[in-house]
Amino acid sequence: MTEPILTVAGVSKTYDSGTVALQPTDLAINRGEIFALLGPNGAGKTTLINIICGIVTPSSGTITVDGHDAIREMRQARRRIGLVPQELHVDMFETVLATVTFSRRLFGRSGHSDYIEQVLRDLSLWDKRKAKIMELSGGMKRRVLIAKALAHEPEILFLDEPTAGVDVALRRDMWKLVHKLRAGGTTIILTTHYIEEAEEMADRVGVINQGKLLLVDDKDALMQKLGKREMDITLSEPMADIPAALSEWDVSLAEDGRRLRYVFDATAERTGIPSLLRKLADLGIGFKDLETSKSSLEDIFVDLVADKVAA
Ligand SMILES: Nc1ncnc2c1ncn2[C@@H]1O[C@H](COP(=O)(O)OP(=O)(O)OP(=O)(O)O)[C@@H](O)[C@H]1O
Do 238 and 176 belong to one domain?
no
pTM (whole model) above 0.80: no
21 lines ligand 1 (CB under 6 A): yes
58 lines ligand 1 (CB under 6 A): no
Do 50 and 121 belong to one domain?
yes
How far is ligand 1, taken at its centre, from the CA of residue 96, in Å? 30
pLDDT tens string, the chain, 311 residues long: the values are: 578 999 999 999 999 999 999 999 999 999 999 999 988 888 899 999 999 998 899 999 999 999 999 989 998 999 999 999 887 777 888 999 999 999 998 887 876 688 999 999 988 899 999 999 999 988 888 889 999 999 999 999 999 988 777 778 888 888 888 888 899 899 999 998 877 778 778 999 998 888 999 889 898 877 776 677 788 999 999 999 999 999 999 999 999 999 999 988 777 778 888 899 999 999 999 999 888 775 554 555 556 655 554 44
Mutate to test the pocket of ligand 1, among 13, 14, 15, 298 (most ligand atoms within 8 A of CB): 15
Helices (H), 217-268: 219-226
Do 212 and 82 belong to one domain?
yes
Do 39 and 187 belong to one domain?
yes
Residue ending a domain, among 224, 239, 272, is 224
Nearest protein CA to atom 23 of ligand 1, as residue: 42
45 lines ligand 1 (CB under 6 A): yes
Residue 130 maps to a domain: yes
Say whether the ipTM exceeds 0.85. Answer: yes
Angle in degrees, CA 265, 268, 272, rounded to 5: 70
Reduced to 3 states (helix: H, G, I; strand: E, B; else coil), residue 138 is helix
Do 111 and 193 belong to one domain?
yes
How far is ligand 1, taken at its centre, from the CA of residue 246, in Å? 47
CA 158 to mean position of chain CA atoms: 11
Do 235 and 158 belong to one domain?
no
39 lines ligand 1 (CB under 6 A): yes
How far is ligand 1, taken at its centre, from the CA of residue 48, in Å? 10
Q: What is the CATH number of the domain that holds 256?
A: 3.30.70
Residues 84, 190: Cα–Cα separation, whole Å: 9
Domain hosting 182: range is 6-224
- Number of domains the chain contains: 2
Do 137 and 40 belong to one domain?
yes
Residue 308 maps to a domain: no
